[in-house]
Structure 1
């Protein structure tokens, strides 16, 4: 189970050094510093809560996970598919996925997954639905291929691996570059992560908040037993 370092440290890392993204055109690195990133208020309204299932379901499951966490990858390979089939797709629960950032690579993964997602209240419903499906699809690929895309000798190599994953989902190299250089989104994602993790007292991943109560990682049978106990009440 991955442990979080202090959230202040996570914020400083993300805002001060995380956006070093090799551009596909020139091979140069793009970066912004902490001082620049911290100017003004962060608009967190651009970060959409990522959910699946029935929003009116009697049970809400919130997962806190990192794209670079091996235990999270194991959960998404071995537990989540059954959870989705038996509880999410059947409308028994609402499932909320919230990203945790241990490092720049986890933040890059989250930004890539949200690439092309509309912003604002006037977003087209069909376009938003397509973007949400792509988000969960990309997160699934990044968990399935976690060892492969993280297996690189440099941040530039990991960047290229993530770019390839984005292109398999129909994103162009230019779109991927633009999304991964979006400082406004990076700041907003880290701010939302910090606020949520502090509110729910998250100190490791994966962690789950089920109807307001915190749970650690667990196998499917235990997860199902927990959910069934709540659904039967």
Structure 2
């Protein structure tokens, strides 16, 4: 790969290791609004194939998003999220379960989670939630958001180790970041072995891919903050479940 276009050797090699509070602020923000999704008539539920459940159906999309639900659902909800964003953590805690139970399970709505990578801890978590089976990506993301303050607390405690990671080769850097933030232990307790976690974090090609996809899609869709939601390609104004659910219902979800 041309080094001048390599996001890890250019962007991340020069990335200043920021304090936890700065990371939190950098990872959240507003996105420019556009026309909202159109209204629609109520859409009847679409049964899943016999013996399956839409809420347990996971597809990896061409954009490297992880979609749960009917791949051909008439309403396609996409969230651009950062793993170090408090507002994303709030949506995960308050919106994900009713979204899956009521709307995804009906086959009418699919939900795709994509990354907007904002800092090294974010990228490390993004790699780790992808490290195992595809069905684990969103559940592990949700658990990581619950523990977000713990990760930042670990970084404060291990500040010297975290700062020193910036000087390491790329294939070692994110392992050191994850160790400083307590990510290795966290994911190990959830079925991802320490060796597997370190192997994924040392996979420079995969780390580059996550970062590059994030940058490319954010530029194409003018996504500047997280969370940002799109419904059938149109941006939704709002970041909370109380704002997202009415948009789904106006479009025909019930």
Matched, 1:197 2:213: no
State the distance in 2 between where 1:114 and 1:174 align.
15
Distance of 2:91 and 2:72 partners within structure 1 = 25
**Aligned CA distance change for structure 1 residues 206 and 216 (closer, same or farther; 3 Å):** farther
Alignment map for 1:17-166 (pairs within 5 Å): 48-116=64-132, 131-152=133-154, 153=156, 154=159, 155=162, 156=176, 159-160=179-180, 161-166=182-187
Residue 174 (structure 1) aligns with: 195
Asked whether 1:210 is paired with 2:212, we answer: no
In the other structure, the counterpart of 2:40 is none
1:215, CA displacement in angstroms? 2.0
TM-score, with length taken from structure 1 = 0.72
Contact 2:188 2:194 survives alignment (8 Å): yes
Is the Cα contact below 8 Å between 2:120 and 2:177 reproduced in 1? no
- Asked if 2 retains the 8 angstrom alpha-carbon contact of 1:13 and 1:103, the reply is no
Partners of 1:134 and 1:216 lie apart in 2 by 29
**Once the two structures are superposed, what CA deviation does each residue of 1:106-149 show, in whole Å capped at 9, x if it has no partner?**
00000111113xxxxxxxxxxxxxx1221112101111111112
Matched with 1:33 is none
Change (3 A) 1:48 1:219: closer
Number of the residue aligned with 2:173: none
Which one has a bigger Cα radius of gyration?
2
Q: How many equivalent pairs are there? A: 185
Q: Distance in 2 between matches of 1:179 and 1:210?
A: 32
Alpha-carbon distance in 2 for matches of 1:61, 1:50: 12
TM-align CA RMSD: 2.6
Superposition deviation, residue 94 in structure 1:
1.2
Gaps of 5+ in 1: 1-7, 20-44, 117-130
Q: TM-score by structure 2 length?
A: 0.66
Alpha carbons of 1:56 and 1:157: their partners in 2 closer, same or farther (altered >3 Å)? closer
Aligned-partner Cα distance in 2 for 1:139–1:66: 10
